[in-house]
């Protein structure tokens, strides 16, 4: 299995951060959500997943074959509009710039935390099952790229 490096996450987060200036833009033909929603959701997922991974009990790690994980992690793509964000990862009605900035600060801390986490640190995804550190980095890459693509399409 290819070992994933947390450094691959930084350019994605940096690009996401660059869209704060246009956070209120929307394009209903692409998404019913504005760019702020895409950024906030991405950050919430990143931070919640990272914290769950870092705080996981290494003794409880076990994994099973998951066809959806194998398929989507291999192609590196999540289809649009197939899954609704869980309640805990949904942004608030009003998304303030200062809230985004503080979430970005936490993301950069969490990248360092993931880097130093044990390889059997893990989190359980509701579709992809239990993801170890390596698979979690892959999930965060694909998820962030998914929302970056939506943002780029909104801006077209």
Tally Cβ neighbours within 10 Å of residue 91. 20
Helix (H, G, I), strand (E, B) or coil at 111: helix
pLDDT in tens, 91-119: 999 999 999 999 999 999 999 999 999 99
Q: Decide if 66 is inside a domain.
A: yes
| pLDDT tens readout for residues 54-70 | 999 999 999 999 999 99
According to the model, what pLDDT value does residue 81 have?
87
Closest residue by Cα to residue 122 from 40, 58, 45, 46:
58
Structural domain for 88, as ranges:
6-155
The DSSP code for 51 is H
Q: pTM to 2 decimals?
A: 0.95
Q: Which residues of 105-144 are buried (b: 16+ CB within 10 A; e: fewer)?
A: eebeebbebbeebeebbbbebeebbbbbbebbbbbbbbbb
* Assigned domain for 118 exists: yes
Specify if 1 maps to a domain.
no
Closest CA to 145 of 29, 50, 15: 15
Q: What is the pLDDT of residue 68?
A: 96
> Domain containing 146 — which CATH number?
1.20.120
Looking at the structure of the chain, the number of domains it has is 1
Q: In whole angstroms, how far apart are CA 156 and each of 19, 29, 73?
A: 13, 11, 27
Angle between helix 10-18 and 97-116 (nearest 10): 180
């Amino acid at each position: 299995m290819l070992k994933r490096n947390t450094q691959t996450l930084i350019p994605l987060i940096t690009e996401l951060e660059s869209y704060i200036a246009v956070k209120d833009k929307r394009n209903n033909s692409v998404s019913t959500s504005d760019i702020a929603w895409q950024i906030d959701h991405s950050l919430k997922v990143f931070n919640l997943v990272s914290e769950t991974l870092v705080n996981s009990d290494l003794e409880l790690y076990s994994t099973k074959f998951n066809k959806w994980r194998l398929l989507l992690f291999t192609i590196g793509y999540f289809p649009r509009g197939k899954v609704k964000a869980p309640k805990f990862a949904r942004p608030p009605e009003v998304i303030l710039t200062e809230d985004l900035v503080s979430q970005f600060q936490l993301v950069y801390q969490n990248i360092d935390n993931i880097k130093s986490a044990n390889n059997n640190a893990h989190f359980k995804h509701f579709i992809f099952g239990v993801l170890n550190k390596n698979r979690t980095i892959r999930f965060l890459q694909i998820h962030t790229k998914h929302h970056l693509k939506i943002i780029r399409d909104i801006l077209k």
